[in-house]
């Protein structure tokens, strides 16, 4: 403990204490009966424009985003900036699709994507596939929020072995589990406001102060190796990094709002107009993401990787230590405490929403569908609360006993898996043309092919697709989504000809305000 940055640690703990209090106090905010699942798991569907803006933004821009996007820019260069256009492309999808989904879910009492698919297509097995995909894709995402806390705790100088090294993470888990259990979605909604204010303060201060310290943006870009400033020019028979960049941006945009935690935040809004207003306002977060990506170049120009005082951090956390090292190098300890609190709190907010979303899915679409078909309201909400604890415990065990790099690699599979739910969820909002068994076949083939392709390239996100002597490196999720859709389109008329009438408990009026 001799290397502990006490000033930063005290400020970090003070802010952490504030959000812990907020998490528990949130149970009395916009008070509702937390023995009802829609009150505990969706905040009673009463969040307005401002709260939804912070909640959805806090849900998407996580501690891993704060750490990983700059780390990718630090290590790989310009490719990391695919995150900027994808968070621009995504908002038209939010504007067009998700108000319709909100309306039908509100009118029919749906809480999860599995509920919607079950009602829209009348097939419990397709709904189960959507549910299992959501839970499995979410688990490593939660684990990665804990990785963000690990990096920050290590940067504060708290180190050791065995229980001493893991104790801060265990304490953070206990706090997260306690206020999520007691307050439900209201807890991360209230904390998200504090978290985002801290992140904006950190990002704006860093984008002003650090370039001044380094002599201006001209010197920063001059210090970055040329191969990292621009994408590599494609070869004569390959799209190279250009294809990878484009498909990563588009595929990520298509996948992001399919994650259960994103849908949970959206369905907690008080009406469809709130979602549309947020689609117009949320690009403000894209500006912040562009600033955060620049931190990777700042770290290169500052030369933090070659400073002996940060060698242990880079050895333990790799490129993920670039932002903490940059902040430690550039700011006084008191501001480092604020910045690290922003990252740590930025881990707790999405982790809370993710665990709630996974609990909602299990309770509604597995437990209620296959185990207890007629639970009381209290039994249903209590089951969700217990499952939310188990989900967080599973993520904690994963981080404590599995090397960090495997969590990161599994998270890459999450995007490949969750995008396979797009035909049933996003297209299902507009049409009932697809046969549910055809959708299930497309999901199965897309999931299997995506997993196999990812394993073949050692769990990296891009796959070098070869066709006619040309190579098209691209995001595996994007390629497998095309395969998924092709199978669903081909099989639908065949299966419709063999099967009975379509089952759809929703009506056209359910999709309109």
* Residues ≥6 apart with Cβ < 8 Å to 381: 34, 35, 36, 37, 39, 40, 41
Residue 444 resides in a domain: no
Which whole-number Å values give the CA distances from 221 to 213, 215, 296, in the listed order? 14, 11, 11
Q: For residue 162, what pLDDT band results from cuts at 50, 70 and 90?
A: low
Distance, CA of 317 to CA of 301 (rounded, Å): 20
- Quick one: angle between helices 63-76 and 124-155, nearest 10? 70
Tokens representing 116 are 């919607």
Task: Please report the pLDDT score of residue 126 as a whole number.
Answer: 97
Q: For residue 458, what pLDDT band results from cuts at 50, 70 and 90?
A: confident
Task: Please report the pLDDT score of residue 157 as a whole number.
Answer: 83
- 8 A C-beta contact, residue 325 and residue 307: yes
Residue 72 resides in a domain: yes
* Residues ≥6 apart with Cβ < 8 Å to 150: 169, 317, 399, 404
Distance, CA of 231 to CA of 78 (rounded, Å): 6
Cα dihedral 125→127→129→133 (10° resolution): -170
Task: Please report the pLDDT score of residue 408 as a whole number.
Answer: 61
DSSP 331-383: S-HHHHHHHHHHHHHHHHHHHHHHHHHHHHHHIIIIIIIII-SS--HHHHHHH
Work out the mean pLDDT of the chain and round it to a whole number.
Answer: 88
Residue 165 resides in a domain: yes
Tokens representing 202 are 């950190």
Task: Please report the pLDDT score of residue 295 as a whole number.
Answer: 92
Tokens representing 298 are 């700042």
- Using alpha carbons only, give the angle 280, 340, 261 rounded to the nearest 5 degrees: 45
- 8 A C-beta contact, residue 398 and residue 143: yes
Arithmetic mean of pLDDT, 196-211: 90
Arithmetic mean of pLDDT, 483-499: 94
Distance, CA of 225 to CA of 212 (rounded, Å): 20
Residue 475 resides in a domain: no
> 184-210 burial, b for 16+ CB within 10 Å, e for fewer?
bbbbbbbbbbbbbebbbebbebbbeeb
Rg (CA), the chain: 23
Residue 97 resides in a domain: yes
Q: Is residue 407 scored above 60 in pLDDT?
A: no
Tokens representing 164 are 């001493």
- 8 A C-beta contact, residue 36 and residue 381: yes
Element (H, E) at 470: strand 470-475
DSSP annotation of 47: B
Tokens representing 157 are 């100088």
Q: Per residue in 39-64, pLDDT tens?
A: 999 888 889 888 888 888 777 777 76
Task: Please report the pLDDT score of residue 444 as a whole number.
Answer: 98
Q: Per residue in 80-124, pLDDT tens?
A: 888 888 888 888 889 999 999 999 999 999 999 999 999 999 999
Distance, CA of 506 to CA of 190 (rounded, Å): 33
Residue 143 resides in a domain: yes
Residue 61 resides in a domain: yes
Q: Which domain holds residue 133?
A: 6-414
Q: Per residue in 4-17, pLDDT tens?
A: 888 998 999 999 88
**CA nearest to 147, candidates 288, 1, 343, 339:** 343
SS (H, E, C) 288-319: HHHHHHHHHHHHHHHCHHHCHHHHHHHHHHHH
Residues found in the chain: 513
Task: Please report the pLDDT score of residue 54 as a whole number.
Answer: 85
Distance, CA of 325 to CA of 328 (rounded, Å): 5
Residue 305 resides in a domain: yes
* Residues ≥6 apart with Cβ < 8 Å to 9: 156, 157, 158, 337
34 compared with 432, residue with greater pLDDT: 432
For the chain, how many structural domains are there in total?
A: 1
Q: Supply the CATH number for residue 271's domain.
A: 1.20.1730.10
């Amino acid at each position: 403990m001799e290397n502990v940055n006490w000033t930063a640690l005290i400020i970090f703990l003070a802010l952490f204490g504030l959000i812990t209090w907020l998490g528990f106090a949130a149970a009395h905010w916009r008070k509702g009966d937390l023995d009802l699942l829609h009150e505990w798991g969706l905040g009673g569907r009463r969040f307005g424009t401002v709260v939804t803006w912070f909640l959805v933004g806090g849900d998407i821009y996580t501690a891993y985003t704060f750490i990983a996007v700059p780390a990718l820019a630090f290590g790989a260069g310009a490719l990391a900036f695919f995150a900027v256009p994808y968070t621009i492309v995504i908002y038209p999808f939010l504007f067009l699709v998700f108000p319709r989904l909100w309306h039908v879910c509100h009118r029919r009492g749906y809480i999860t994507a599995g509920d919607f698919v079950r009602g829209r297509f009348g097939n419990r097995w397709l709904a189960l596939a959507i549910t299992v995909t959501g839970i499995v894709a979410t688990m490593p995402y939660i684990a990665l929020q804990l990785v963000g806390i690990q990096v920050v705790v290590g940067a504060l100088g708290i180190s050791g072995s065995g229980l001493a090294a893991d104790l801060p993470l265990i304490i953070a888990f206990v706090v997260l589990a306690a206020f999520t259990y007691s307050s439900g979605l209201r807890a991360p909604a209230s904390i998200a406001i504090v978290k985002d204010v801290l992140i904006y303060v950190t990002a704006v201060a860093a984008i002003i102060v650090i370039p001044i310290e380094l002599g201006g943006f001209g010197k920063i870009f001059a210090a970055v190796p040329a191969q990292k400033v621009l994408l590599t020019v494609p070869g004569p028979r390959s799209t190279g990094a250009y294809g990878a960049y484009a498909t990563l941006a588009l595929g990520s945009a298509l996948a992001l709002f399919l994650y259960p935690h994103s849908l949970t935040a959206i369905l907690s809004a008080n009406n469809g107009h709130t979602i549309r207003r947020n689609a117009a306002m949320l690009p403000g977060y894209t500006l912040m993401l562009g600033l955060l990506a620049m931190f990777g170049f700042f770290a290169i120009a500052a030369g933090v990787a070659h400073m002996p005082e940060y060698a242990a951090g880079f050895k333990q956390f790799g490129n993920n230590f670039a932002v903490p090292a940059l902040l430690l190098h550039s700011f006084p300890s008191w501001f480092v405490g604020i910045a690290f609190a922003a990252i740590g709190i930025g881990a707790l907010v999405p982790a809370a929403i993710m665990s709630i979303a996974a609990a909602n899915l299990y309770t509604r679409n597995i437990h209620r569908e296959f185990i207890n078909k007629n639970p009381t309201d209290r039994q249903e909400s209590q089951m969700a609360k217990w499952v939310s604890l188990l989900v967080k415990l599973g993520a904690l065990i994963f981080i404590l006993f599995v090397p960090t790099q495997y969590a990161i690699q599994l998270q890459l599979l999450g995007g490949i898996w969750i995008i396979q739910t797009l035909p049933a969820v996003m297209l299902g909002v507009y049409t009932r043309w697809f046969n549910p068994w055809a959708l299930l076949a497309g999901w199965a083939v897309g999931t299997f092919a995506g997993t196999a392709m990812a394993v073949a390239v050692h769990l990296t996100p891009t796959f070098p697709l070869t066709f006619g002597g040309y190579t098209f490196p691209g995001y595996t999720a994007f390629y497998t989504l095309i395969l998924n859709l092709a199978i669903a389109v081909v099989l639908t008329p065949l299966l419709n000809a063999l099967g009975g009438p379509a089952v759809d408990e929703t009506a056209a009026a359910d999709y309109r305000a």
